[in-house]
Each structure stands twice: as C-alpha cells, then as structure tokens.
Amino acid sequence: MTPKLKDWVAYYDSPHSIYVNALHRDVHYATIADEIARYVPSPSAAVLDYGCGEALHADRIAAAAGRLTLVDAAPSVRARLVERFGNDLKITVVSAERAAAMPERSFDLVVLHSVSQYLSGEEFDRIAALFRRLLKPDGLFLLGDVVPHEVPAVSDAWALLRFAYANGFLLAALAGLVRTFFSDYWRLRSEFGLTRYSEAEMTARLARLGFTVTRAPRNIGHIGSRMTFLARPAAGSTQSQGFTDA
C-alpha cells in the first residue's frame, strides 16, 4: 500500500466531514446503491463491492442479488458494516486480504466505485487483475466515478450543490464546503492529488488486463463529469503481466 493510499484509508477510518450532514450521507449511499442494483444481472447473482465505504443501503443491492460481499480496507468501517448488516444472511463483510484469497470465478458482478482516484496505477492494475480472476467468464466489472484529467475541483463542488438542492440540504452543503476546505480531506487532496484518466487511457489499461470495455452512458452517482466503465473478461484473453505506468 502506497503512502497515498495509507493516508486515504486512515482518513476514512477516522471521524471525517466528507458528508455535510446525516441526510447527505443517507441520500448519497441510497443513490449509489440503487444505481449499482440496476447492474445486478439476476436475482441469484453473486456481487462483490470492493472499497464499499459505509454502504448504508447495501441491503438494496443484496435484495436484487443472491449474495453480496462487501470489502473495505478501513477496520472501523468494516466493524460498522458488520454491526449494520450482521443479521442479513445475503451480506458478508470481508477485508481486502480475504477478498484476494477467494476462489476464481466467484462473482457475476464486481464493483469498484469512487476508489480509482485514490490508487496508484500499479495498485489499480493489481486490483483489476484480481477482479479478472474473481469474475465469471460472462461477469461484469463495474468501475465508477473515474476522474478525468480536465475536470477541476470546483466541478465537484457544483455537483454537490446541485445534489444538495435536489435533496434538501443546500444550506448544510454550503457550510460543508467551507469546512472541507480547511479539513484533512482537502489537505490530502492537495498533497497527493487524485489519480486521473482519460476515457482512452482507462479503456487501454483495462484492455491490457484482459477486459473488453465500454463507457456507460452516465456516471454512477451525482458527479456527472466523472466516468463509469463496463468491463467484461475478454474471451480467450490472459491477464497482462508487468503492466506499469508509461
């Protein structure tokens, strides 16, 4: 794990102000869960949500699937997930290490949403290669919230304000943006930046790792300037070895 990723995991493993209030947190996770659920291919599907975060409404995804495995690197996040969903027989919470040891071809759908921006290219390749192994031959890797090169930070702020206006927490969002500017989140984002890709770069990267790729018509979540990709194991392909950033 790179220092950048360690610091981001530590941030999300501690009390933070990325959500401006409880309503923001709730509607954010409800929106993500509902949009992921639309990609579940069948009521019997096995789904892996990697880097799931708080996943407050993961039960909505589980309701559309046969079983749901939630993975997060932050121990306190996993503990809260277990507390929240421990009685749901469809939902299992595991560490990244346990996910890496799972049998090949275990899942019909693998989700990595709003995580790629925190990973180095090498880390992304390692995780995507794991997904290539874990996916069934007709499975889908759903990659959401990929940040393009040309999108400035102010675009995220405007997206939050539009989302807040539509869901009734605009004043809290305005105050939250001010808090965020002086928070550890902004310090980390300023220090490390976010890992960004063009559509062509991400398509080529996934192709080298053994996927056929298309870009979804719209991004999952409220930030329309970001990208979602639909990647499937390429027939007869083998995973690329030694792929590194140019």
Kindly state whether residue 242 falls inside one of the protein's structural domains.
Answer: no
136 lies in some domain: yes
Predicted confidence at residue 99, as pLDDT, reads: 97
Number of domains making up the chain: 1
Residue 118 lies in a domain: yes
In-domain check, residue 191: yes
The CATH number for 68's domain is 3.40.50.150
pLDDT at 241: 40
Q: What is the per-residue pLDDT for 186?
A: 58
Give me the pLDDT at residue 2, please: 74
Would 239 be classed as within a structural domain?
Answer: no
What confidence score (pLDDT) does residue 189 get?
Answer: 65
Per-residue pLDDT of the chain (246 residues; tens, 9 = 90+): 776 677 667 766 766 678 889 999 999 999 999 999 999 999 999 999 999 999 999 999 999 999 999 999 999 999 999 999 999 999 999 999 999 999 999 999 999 999 999 999 999 999 999 999 999 999 999 999 999 998 887 898 899 999 999 999 999 999 988 877 766 665 666 666 789 999 999 999 999 999 999 999 999 999 999 999 999 999 876 544 433 333
Q: Which pLDDT score, from 0 to 100, does residue 178 have?
A: 82
Within a domain: residue 240? no
For 138, the domain range is 3-233
Q: What is the DSSP string of the chain?
A: --HHHHHHHHHHTS---SSSSHHHHHHHHHHHHHHHHTT---TT-EEEEET-TT-TTHHHHHHHSSEEEEE-S-HHHHHHHHHHHTT-TTEEEE-HHHHHTSPTT-EEEEEEES-GGGS-HHHHHHHHHHHHHHEEEEEEEEEEEEPPTT--HHHHHHHHHHHHHHHT-HHHHHHHHHHHHTSHHHHHHHHH------HHHHHHHHHHTTEEEEE-SS-SSS-TTSEEEEEEEPTT----SS----
Q: Answer whether residue 244 is part of any domain.
A: no
The pLDDT of residue 246 is: 32
245 found inside a domain: no
pLDDT (0 to 100) of residue 153? 78
